[in-house]
Structure 1
Amino acid sequence: MAKLVAASAVAALTACSAAQPGLLKADGVPRDTVDRATYSAELNSLRDSALTLGEALLADGGDGANGNVVASPGSLLIALAMLRAGASGGTAAEMDAVLQLPVEHRDEAMNALLASLEKFDGDPGSVDEANPPRKPIMHPANGLFVDRGVTAGPAYLDTLARHYGTGVYPVDFSDEAATKPAIDAWVGKNTGGRIKESPAEYDRRNTFSVLNALYFAAAWNVPFDPNNTSDLLFTTAGGKEVTAPAMHNLLQMKYAEGRGWRGVDLPYAEGFVMRLVLPDERAGKGTGLSAETLTDIAGAMDTARLQMVRIQLPRWDHKCTFDLRKVFESLGMRKTLTTTEDFNAIQPKMAITQAAQAANITVAEKGTVAAAVTQINGMVTSAPPEPDRTIEFDRPFHYQVVHVETGLPLFMGTVADPR
């Protein structure tokens, strides 16, 4: 255990709940208290970063059916920020540039963001999803599973404890029968059972897994009357007209419009809104919006005034999973995916092996329930041994296919031109 966490990072080791038998959670370092107002500029940068990630996730599309996509840029941003806390060199510079992360006070700003979300924290398992609560539940959770046989950087663990409230779970990744159910139990507990398994395929060779879970449940400030829900025409991205249950309401909400779009902020009972953006018909098929446009929309909605709006909105219940390595590649995060040196602060010679997200959402007359889990895995790599000799077949050569036991050459030939 001493190899996993420095004495400064752990004041006590206590057994986890029965949902994760046999695991230990390090929870000795107190969470830093930060003033949100001090980091307003950094928080704006984090918002812009989330919008960039959102554009990339929607462009990727995951495994959504019929063009429907649900993703969590917020969850991905938090998980990447935890990974960035242990990055150095060219990988750190690449992550900062691609993700537009604050160069200074990044972890403090993320602490402030998480603290703001945690004002609405609650137990996902207590929610009656058929009747979302008037007081929203926004449950963020960060978890770190590390192989107990590999040294984890004490400074990295200290940062995650002080700014992310991240518990450390030492496990044996080679023991899939014990470790996979433990990680899945963490996922299920922190998503109210909406997501039952960690999104990345289990790999016994991994030595590191960082996870973020977000769970959201909230009633609308003014619910939709189910008696006013009726099947109406909906034109799909492919131009096909279908019928779908549509909800109706008339209420005050923020309304704004800009070049190529109109939008509203549909309020929940407290603390949150659902931002709904309708591209102009002349925008063509689909709803693709650039990160720049999304930022413009956010600015417009910040200053929009309340108006009485009649809204027609379909119900939906969607889910998606993403191979985030593809998303990272599309963003240009190639060094992040290939380095074996720049995550040494986490584990020596660690390389990213997997990254995945699962997300789902249910929107109906009473409110919204949604959950997401982002997982980034890594393993310790070893440098290849130095060769005793080098031989390069860069000119004509002879070959044989030999039966080892008898020495019989089954095939023999010469390569004079391999083209």
Structure 2
Amino acid sequence: MKLTVLFISISLMLTALISSCEKADDPTNPIVLIGEVGEAGWISQQLGWDLFREVIKDHPGENVIISPLSVQIALTMALNGADAKTKAEMLALLHCPDCSAEKLNKDLAELQDWLQNKSGHPTFNINNSIFYDQNRVMLHDEYLEKLTGSYALQKEVLNFSDPSAKDKINNRVKQQTQGRIDKIVEEIKPLDLAFLINVLYFKSDWAKGFDERMTRDLDFRLSDGSSISVPFVMGDRDFLTARTDELEMVDLPFRDSTFSLSLIRHRNPDPSVNAWAQEIDSDKLSELYSLLKEDRALVHFPRFAMSFDVKLPDVLKRLGMVDAFSEVDANFEPMGRSLIGDGIFISQVNHAATLEVDEKGAEGAAVTSVGFSTTSLPPSFTFDSPFVLNLRHIPTNTVIFAGLVEDPSED
């Protein structure tokens, strides 16, 4: 039996996770009901931290940055073309086994509209595309119409036998990420049929910037116990902070306060950063967000630029999405029909993300194919050892980026 291949490419610059909880009167409470995003926010949180734990387990000692929202969008687009057990496993991965594809499409369409058009100052762009060779695959009109209606899908027919086809896809990704990511497709093989690509791009200034004159070199303790000297951004003013017995957080809002970057560290850091980072989940973050209060604090965090790419099939298989990658068991009949083989399966899910944080703000991109009289001193929050970050949309608590900073000196 001759099998053909469907690639899912995901291009991301930021990640987003949301929660559809009731709005609180407390202005520091970031979780509010917004729009008709339905299950999309809750799914993003569960999938996002599932992915985060698995990825950092596979990459000990490395800086990690992913965009859960990008992966969620790409996989949901693919799910529209799945059936039977293949579809059931993908719904289970999304923590919504009883959801219909139509419901997921509606929720994500609303969420994408909120993030791009109703969230004020930040530059936030989401682009969804499918590149395919019509001599290799016939995609059903119904499948393409669903994705066009819910995801503003851009369709482009290419000759995959032409060596320039790969460059056309990568050039589109480079353009949509403002040059932050220049490649997501490494090669196009003779049995490759299509590439589904989601691209996210985010850029915003802080609500209150940090004085570059206060930036100074300080020691950052690495997981192996050694130290390096890196530039630290510093601020002494009112910040949103929270502490539990185990963790502490600084939540840094961007200019219009609809997005923020949360920095989270263990209060008793030791070399086993991966152990406590593995335990981060939506419940722990919700507890920290519920404790946020605004008061004077001394905040120090390293200036950093992170780039990360990962192949996700093994991670997704461990999380229960198995049949989609099987040459024998995959069922993507609702998507279309191969013209050069007997079936369609997913052979790759590639993800790349970047995030840069400095005194002015943050810029990130992600791609998925198939990413904070005299008085006593105020409390100090110094992120001088490995820490977790969560870049989010405050009104919906959507996670745009989730990451682990092991070494801020690496680019």
**In structure 2, what is the equivalent of residue 318 of structure 1?**
306
In 2, Cα distance between equivalents of 1:84 and 1:292:
29
Alignment of 1:295-334 (within 5 A): 295-308=282-295, 309-334=297-322
AA aligned opposite 1:274 = L
How far residue 189 of structure 1 moved from its aligned partner, in angstroms, is: 1.2
Deviation per CA, 1:285-343: give whole Å up to 9, x if none: 22455677320233224433432232100011121110112222332322121155411
**In structure 2, what is the equivalent of residue 351 of structure 1?**
345
Which deviates more, 318-327 or 294-303? 294-303
Q: Is the 8 A contact 1:58 1:71 kept in 2?
A: no
Larger Rg: 1
Q: Is 1:167 aligned to residue 154 of structure 2? A: yes
How far residue 44 of structure 1 moved from its aligned partner, in angstroms, is: 2.1
AA aligned opposite 2:352 = A
Q: Is the 8 A contact 2:130 2:196 kept in 1?
A: yes
Equivalent in 91, 94, 97 of residue 99 of structure 1:
94
Q: Is the 8 A contact 1:142 1:166 kept in 2?
A: yes
Q: Is the 8 A contact 1:52 1:291 kept in 2?
A: no
Instruction: Classify the secondary structure of the residue corresponding to 2:179.
Output: coil
How far residue 140 of structure 1 moved from its aligned partner, in angstroms, is: 0.9
**In structure 2, what is the equivalent of residue 52 of structure 1?**
50
Q: Which runs of 5+ in 2 are unaligned?
A: 1-32, 338-342, 371-411
From the superposition, tell whether residues 298 and 113 of structure 1 become closer, same or farther in structure 2 (CA, over 3 Å): farther
**In structure 2, what is the equivalent of residue 272 of structure 1?**
259
**In structure 2, what is the equivalent of residue 205 of structure 1?**
191
**In structure 2, what is the equivalent of residue 188 of structure 1?**
174
From the superposition, tell whether residues 39 and 319 of structure 1 become closer, same or farther in structure 2 (CA, over 3 Å): closer
How far residue 37 of structure 1 moved from its aligned partner, in angstroms, is: 3.5
Equivalent in 227, 250, 253 of residue 241 of structure 1:
227
Percent identity between the two aligned chains: 26
Q: Is the 8 A contact 2:63 2:306 kept in 1?
A: yes
**In structure 1, what is the equivalent of residue 84 of structure 2?**
89
Equivalent pairs counted in the alignment come to: 326
In 1, Cα distance between equivalents of 2:115 and 2:190:
34
Instruction: Classify the secondary structure of the residue corresponding to 1:333.
Output: coil
Q: Is the 8 A contact 1:199 1:358 kept in 2?
A: no
How far residue 106 of structure 1 moved from its aligned partner, in angstroms, is: 1.1
Instruction: Classify the secondary structure of the residue corresponding to 1:81.
Output: helix
Equivalent in 38, 41, 44 of residue 43 of structure 1:
41
Alignment of 1:6-405 (within 5 A): 37-61=35-59, 67-101=62-96, 103-104=99-100, 105-119=103-117, 135-149=121-135, 150-177=137-164, 179-270=165-256, 271-281=258-268, 284-288=271-275, 293-308=280-295, 309-338=297-326, 341-348=330-337, 349-376=343-370
In 2, Cα distance between equivalents of 1:323 and 1:256:
35
From the superposition, tell whether residues 369 and 120 of structure 1 become closer, same or farther in structure 2 (CA, over 3 Å): farther
Instruction: Classify the secondary structure of the residue corresponding to 2:228.
Output: strand
Which deviates more, 334-343 or 165-174? 334-343
| TM-score when normalising by structure 1 | 0.72
Q: Is the 8 A contact 2:241 2:250 kept in 1?
A: yes
In 1, Cα distance between equivalents of 2:220 and 2:271:
15
How far residue 279 of structure 1 moved from its aligned partner, in angstroms, is: 1.7
AA aligned opposite 1:152 = L
In 2, Cα distance between equivalents of 1:252 and 1:47:
28
Deviation per CA, 1:102-147: give whole Å up to 9, x if none: 61411111111111121179xxxxxxxxxxxx92111111111111
| TM-score when normalising by structure 2 | 0.73
In 2, Cα distance between equivalents of 1:358 and 1:310:
33
From the superposition, tell whether residues 155 and 253 of structure 1 become closer, same or farther in structure 2 (CA, over 3 Å): farther
Question: What is the aligned-residue RMSD (CA, Å)?
Answer: 2.4
How far residue 60 of structure 1 moved from its aligned partner, in angstroms, is: 3.0
Q: Is the 8 A contact 1:355 1:375 kept in 2?
A: yes
In 2, Cα distance between equivalents of 1:185 and 1:280:
44
**In structure 1, what is the equivalent of residue 14 of structure 2?**
none
Instruction: Classify the secondary structure of the residue corresponding to 2:366.
Output: strand
Instruction: Classify the secondary structure of the residue corresponding to 2:223.
Output: coil
From the superposition, tell whether residues 43 and 361 of structure 1 become closer, same or farther in structure 2 (CA, over 3 Å): closer
**In structure 1, what is the equivalent of residue 405 of structure 2?**
none
From the superposition, tell whether residues 45 and 268 of structure 1 become closer, same or farther in structure 2 (CA, over 3 Å): same
In 2, Cα distance between equivalents of 1:209 and 1:268:
34
Q: Is the 8 A contact 2:171 2:182 kept in 1?
A: yes
Q: Counting helix residues as a fraction of each chain, which structure ranks higher?
A: 1
AA aligned opposite 2:345 = A
In 2, Cα distance between equivalents of 1:252 and 1:287:
31
How far residue 205 of structure 1 moved from its aligned partner, in angstroms, is: 2.5
In 2, Cα distance between equivalents of 1:319 and 1:53:
17
From the superposition, tell whether residues 361 and 269 of structure 1 become closer, same or farther in structure 2 (CA, over 3 Å): same
Instruction: Classify the secondary structure of the residue corresponding to 1:181.
Output: helix
